Amino acid sequence: MEPRHDTPADAIRRLEALPRIALTPLPTPLHRLPRFSEALGADVWIKRDDMGSVALAGNKVRKYELLLGQALAEGADTLITTGALQSNSARAGAAAAAQLGLRCVLVLTGEPPAERRANLLLDDLFGADVRFVGRLAWSELAPVLDATAAEVTRAGGQPYVAPVGASSPLGSLGFALAYRELLDQLRQAGLGGGEHGDATEPLLVHTSTSGGTHAGLVVGRELSGRGPRPIGVDAGRVLPDPARDLARMATEAAAMIGLDRHFAEEEIAVELGYAGPAYGSITEEGVAAIRLLAATEGIVADPVYSAKGLAAVVELARSSRHGGRPIVFWHTGGWHANFDPHYGDALR
């Protein structure tokens, strides 16, 4: 495809004109965390993507608004998606499919568990056809998804395949929209809103794995020409080379809306120090951060994902690295997994 040389304003118009299905009331709240801030000695705010949407779908719902917008525009009747056994993305897809009257097939990595708990229980309640495919690496899933799509087609259905974490360039654009939503809220709250480097501009921290959230925020910042640079806290090396892969996803997402911008990996702020030894690890600092947020504010996070970003916020707040700036934690949801004893027990 020929690169287009549209202005950011053209790209914003294209972004806003993408087919989109409303799955969540927006904007999600942005508010200060007074008691958490006091405990940490810093000014900490939270963006509540853990609230509101269908089955409290978290960050994934913003991606599904665009993916399912495209799916319906193409006449799809079956959503196929994939992830780990306790995948939040798969559960969010199943809930959205139920809401829209689509069939849903979930291809989950891992062996069938003895009992369906937490996200797996919800997948079942939402009527998803759950397939357990054993211990495949996420990179090995493509042929399985292709075969599942072929099976749906043979049965007379029309499949739409959403990737791991719903993190395609199109899905990530949900977070380009979200970034613009945040900027409006920051302005209203008197946080930043000026040029880059404004002393009130907050630090923006979120958890990142398959990358759509981070890549979309990067594109949203580019479109807006200002605002805090998102800091993605890696929760487990799902991407082989996070900064490079995120830069590529952001570049592809920008191109989809006519923005000819090549992001370099040096422009992407990734924190790799909070994931623990592997994807799914439960870390001591993550559990401490969950307990502090819950005890001071009545807000719940999960150990696999949001705890990683939250632990980075706690460390940043306690250090002098924030330089007196406010910190905004983007809560990406996902605490349903706490109701699986594997995760819940770790919180005791």
Ligand X SMILES: Cc1ncc(COP(=O)(O)O)c(C=O)c1O
Among the listed residues 87, 89, 168, 306, the single catalytic one is: 87
Judged by CB under 6 A, which of 52, 236, 326, 334 binds ligand X?
334
Does 53 bind ligand X (CB under 6 A)? Our answer is: no
Judged by CB under 6 A, which of 306, 310, 316, 317 binds ligand X?
306
Q: Which is nearer to ligand X, 152 or 311 (CB)?
A: 311
Does 207 bind ligand X (CB under 6 A)? Our answer is: yes
Judged by CB under 6 A, which of 78, 86, 88, 119 binds ligand X?
88
Kindly state the helix (H) or strand (E) to which residue 180 belongs, with its residue range.
Answer: helix 169-189
- Strands of the sheet containing 78-84, edge to edge, are 129-132, 103-109, 78-84, 159-161
* Closest among 266, 268, 261, 344 to 304, alpha carbons compared: 344
Judged by CB under 6 A, which of 82, 283, 332, 338 binds ligand X?
332
Identify whether the C-beta of residue 303 lies closer than 8 Å to the C-beta of residue 346.
yes
Judged by CB under 6 A, which of 24, 82, 109, 167 binds ligand X?
167
Does 212 bind ligand X (CB under 6 A)? Our answer is: yes
Q: Which is nearer to ligand X, 147 or 272 (CB)?
A: 272
- The piece of 148-156, 197-205, 212-220, 274-282 that touches ligand X (CB under 6 A) is 212-220
Identify whether the C-beta of residue 174 lies closer than 8 Å to the C-beta of residue 63.
yes
The least distance separating ligand X from the CB of residue 228, rounded to whole angstroms, comes to 18
CB within 8 Å of 99: residues ≥ 6 apart: 23, 54
Q: Which is nearer to ligand X, 152 or 269 (CB)?
A: 269
Tell which phi-psi region holds residue 165, choosing left (phi > 0), alpha (psi between -120 and 50) or beta: left
- Binding characters for ligand X, 98-137, by CB under 6 A (x = yes): ----------------------------------------
Count CA atoms closer than 13 A to 44's CA, side-chain side: 30
* Closest among 116, 109, 115, 113 to 87, alpha carbons compared: 109
- Which phi and psi (to 5°) does residue 47 adopt? -105, 120
Residue with tokens 């892969």: 245
Does 89 bind ligand X (CB under 6 A)? Our answer is: yes
- The piece of 36-44, 206-214, 313-321, 338-346 that touches ligand X (CB under 6 A) is 206-214
Does 28 bind ligand X (CB under 6 A)? Our answer is: no
d(CA 314, CA 280): 20
The least distance separating ligand X from the CB of residue 68, rounded to whole angstroms, comes to 16
Judged by CB under 6 A, which of 69, 163, 211, 286 binds ligand X?
211
The least distance separating ligand X from the CB of residue 76, rounded to whole angstroms, comes to 22
Does 165 bind ligand X (CB under 6 A)? Our answer is: yes
Active site residue 281: no
- Which phi and psi (to 5°) does residue 54 adopt? -55, 120
Does 52 bind ligand X (CB under 6 A)? Our answer is: no
d(CA 187, CA 199): 14
Task: Quote the radius of gyration of the chain (alpha carbons, Å).
Answer: 19
CA 61 to chain CA centroid, Å, is: 8
Does 192 bind ligand X (CB under 6 A)? Our answer is: no
The angle at the Cα of 259, spanning 257 to 265, to the nearest 5 degrees, equals 115
- The piece of 5-13, 141-149, 207-215, 255-263 that touches ligand X (CB under 6 A) is 207-215
The least distance separating ligand X from the CB of residue 306, rounded to whole angstroms, comes to 5
Provide the annotated active-site residues.
87
Binding positions for ligand X, rule: CB under 6 A: 58-59, 88-89, 165, 167, 207-214, 305-306, 332-334
